[in-house]
Amino acid sequence: MFPLGARPPPPSAMDRHHHQQPPSPQGEHAAQPRCWEEFLHRKTIRVLLVETDDSTRQVVTALLRHCMYQVIPAENGHQAWAYLQDMQSNIDLVLTEVFMHGGLSGIDLLGRIMNHEVCKDIPVIMMSSHDSMGTVLSCLSNGAADFLAKPIRKNELKNLWAHVWRRSHS
């Protein structure tokens, strides 16, 4: 049924194939994956990554770059806000830690972004290892486009472009 060494798709994908057109004669795996460039009409998506922990910032930066995003790392909320105020940065998306030491928390940064005439259209994704219902609700009710629980996985980062697309079409 599947080529030697190939794993079958997950059950949800198998179910979808039964309700759609049959696979092409070349096989299910012959289709090229679609890229976000088709939908956004731009070569790069610039992600401002705000993380106070050096090792976490390096790991998430590597994951984002592997997903073909251009990463602008910021060590704290104040540095991130300075990047955002510089209109030459052309930030497409902000991925920020919720709880940061050093004065400007992720929630505070989110508030500044949402209240800024130009920056308010930039999607902000909050992330934290503290994923209590209260933390998630606070982020989303203050304007965050999404919340990611740490540890961040590459699969969660692959589709960040959809938030940029959504904002550009709303």
Which residue has better confidence, 36 or 38? 38
**Whole-prediction pTM value?**
0.76
Instruction: Say if 13 falls within a structural domain.
Output: no
Q: What is the CATH number of the domain that holds 45?
A: 3.40.50.2300
Instruction: Say if 17 falls within a structural domain.
Output: no
Average pLDDT, the chain: 81
Residues in the chain: 170
Is the pLDDT assigned to residue 2 strictly greater than 50? no
Contacts of 10 (CB under 8 A, 6+ apart): none
Instruction: Say if 162 falls within a structural domain.
Output: yes
Is the pLDDT assigned to residue 24 strictly greater than 60? no
Instruction: Say if 12 falls within a structural domain.
Output: no
Q: Supply the range of the domain harboring residue 105.
A: 35-69+77-168
Contacts of 15 (CB under 8 A, 6+ apart): none
Digit-coded pLDDT (tens) for 94-116: 999 999 977 899 999 999 999 99
User: 50 vs 31, 36, 38, 79, 100, CA distance in Å?
Assistant: 36, 23, 28, 9, 9
CA pair distance 104, 21, nearest whole angstrom: 52
Letter string b/e over residues 85-98, b meaning 16 or more CB atoms within 10 A of that residue's CB: eeeeeebbbbbbbb
Instruction: Say if 158 falls within a structural domain.
Output: yes
pLDDT for res 25: 44
Q: How many domains does the chain fold into?
A: 1
